[in-house]
DNA sequence: CTTCAACGATCAAAATACGCATGGATCGGT
DNA sequence: ACCGATCCATGCGTATTTTGATCGTTGAAG
């Protein structure tokens, strides 16, 4: 999952970044509205966290411009306590949720979870695909009642593929969503991780868990239940 | 739009109901959790507003049971001021948003807007041409319910032709769009790929899927639906 | 009606690109 | 410094793409 953070106050920005890091999300950060607009236009994020009070380009305006450009990822706005008018204008501009500063880190974590979950059209935090079960809040994976130990990259790769079950996901889409900015493209990390996932989750290939569409990408083949 | 309201305090319930009425939403109201569960299981709502502190069946539990029954409409929860733990557990149970009581009516209106917009924001990426179906986000092609496996060049050729259905597309236009830089002209790759597409998608020629305009190019013959 | 030339279709072989497994290097946390 | 996680380089096997040769079609001219 790749997340954009637009926050001008450095301490808060750093705090959010480190929180996101513990969650193993790939993050890009911008310190003002204009930079945020640039990044948000450039990349396809899974979520954006935007402070409404921003230099150079107001948060509300930033959201409007992003939405005008068909950027449809969920947006969580941060507002100073007390002025609900801000929240309302932000939501009307196209944000999906808000959080009042100061906030409890745990709450931010929960809101982000909820937004990402909702954006992928899944209500419950446990995803079930036949014998494969992914608990996104505990970040644990089971196959037929027995837990499968995954590293965080293996987990992220699996989740991204599973959330787009049935779709062909290109390797570049995967790297874009699993890694932060500028990543060396000519590497075969993705192939390695897909290989590991197959070995761990479907050693004998009987599930045909992840199939490769040569030249197009990978596809997660189990239906959500 | 049909909305479910589960709120035990009558004055607040009435207030929400009248607010919804001004928005022209169709509403059902329940005064306790059990009634809410009954209504929520029975009908397919577009959104639910649920107070967390409910008699007979706790709000969090109610949400969990609804989600377990595959009720995937967005849920907005109402909580008493101050205890963010409630919100968190509600969101983890499968809610999408919350509002702290007391709230400003204007704000409730905005949140509901945002949720409904998000829920319906599923722009279909499926192109349908009679029996031929192209899912551009999954990069998969079907003819009459059965999937047709295409290689990436076959897929690209098909999509370009389909997106310009009814028009004559010259071979040079195709090469220009399918290949990066100037491509060796005296080659018959395009003919080969058109041939493959015809064979895979319309083996007996009954659809007249792609006709050739001698000297002009090719034409995709099905109308978009 | 036949002939001819230009164009397109088809096929199979050759060239290429792509993905996979493997093992070792490097990174990062404890 | 250690250990596991992640990343990278290599070579191999194979699906895909490309090519070139051949054959079929078309439409116009003779």
Task: Write the pLDDT tens digit of every residue in A49-64.
Answer: 999 999 999 999 999 9
Q: How many A×B Cβ pairs under 8 Å?
A: 79
List strands edge to edge, sheet with A126-129.
Answer: A126-129, A132-135, A140-143, A146-148
pLDDT, tens digit, 9 for 90 and up, residues B177-186: 888 665 655 6
Residue A98 reports pLDDT greater than 60: yes
Residue B5: the pLDDT is: 94
Residue B121 reports pLDDT greater than 60: no
- Using CA coordinates, name the residue in chain B closest to A161: B138
Nearest nucleotide over every DNA/RNA strand to the B152 CA, judged by C1': D16
**Angle, helices A152-163/A171-178, rounded to nearest 10 degrees:** 120
Assess whether A152 (CB) lies less than 7 A from strand D: yes
* Stretch A74-90: mean pLDDT: 84
φ/ψ (deg, to 5) at A83: -95, 95
Residue B50: cis peptide before it, omega within 30 degrees of 0:
no
φ/ψ (deg, to 5) at A23: -85, 0
| B224 SS3 class | coil
Q: Nearest-CA neighbor of A70 among B125, B55, B191, B84?
A: B125
How many Å apart are CA A183 and CA A187, to the nearest integer? 9
Task: Give the A-side interface with B, CB within 8 Å.
Answer: 72, 74, 84, 87-88, 91-92, 95-97, 104, 106-107, 110-111, 113-114, 118-119, 121, 123-125, 137, 166-168, 213-217, 219
């Amino acid at each position: 999952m790749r997340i954009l953070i637009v926050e001008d106050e450095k301490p808060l920005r750093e705090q959010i970044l480190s929180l996101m890091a513990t969650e193993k999300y790939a993050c890009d950060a911008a310190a003002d509205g204009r930079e945020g607009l640039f990044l948000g236009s450039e990349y396809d994020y899974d979520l954006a966290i935007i402070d409404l009070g921003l230099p150079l380009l107001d948060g509300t305006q930033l959201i409007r411009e992003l939405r005008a450009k068909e950027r449809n990822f969920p947006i969580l706005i941060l507002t100073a306590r007390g002025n609900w008018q801000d929240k309302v204008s932000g939501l009307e501009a196209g944000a999906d949720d808000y959080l009042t500063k100061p906030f409890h880190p745990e709450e931010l974590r929960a809101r982000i979870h909820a937004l990402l979950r909702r954006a992928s059209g899944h209500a419950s935090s446990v995803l079930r695909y036949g014998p494969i079960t992914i608990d996104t809040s505990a970040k644990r994976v089971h196959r037929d009642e027995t837990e499968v130990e995954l590293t965080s990259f293996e987990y992220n790769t699996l989740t991204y593929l599973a959330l787009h079950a049935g779709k062909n996901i290109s390797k570049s889409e995967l790297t874009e969503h699993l890694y932060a900015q500028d990543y060396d493209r000519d590497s075969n990390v993705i192939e390695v991780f897909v290989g590991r996932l197959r070995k761990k989750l479907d050693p004998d290939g009987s599930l045909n868990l992840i199939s490769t569409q040569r030249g197009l990408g990978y596809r997660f083949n189990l239906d959500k239940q």
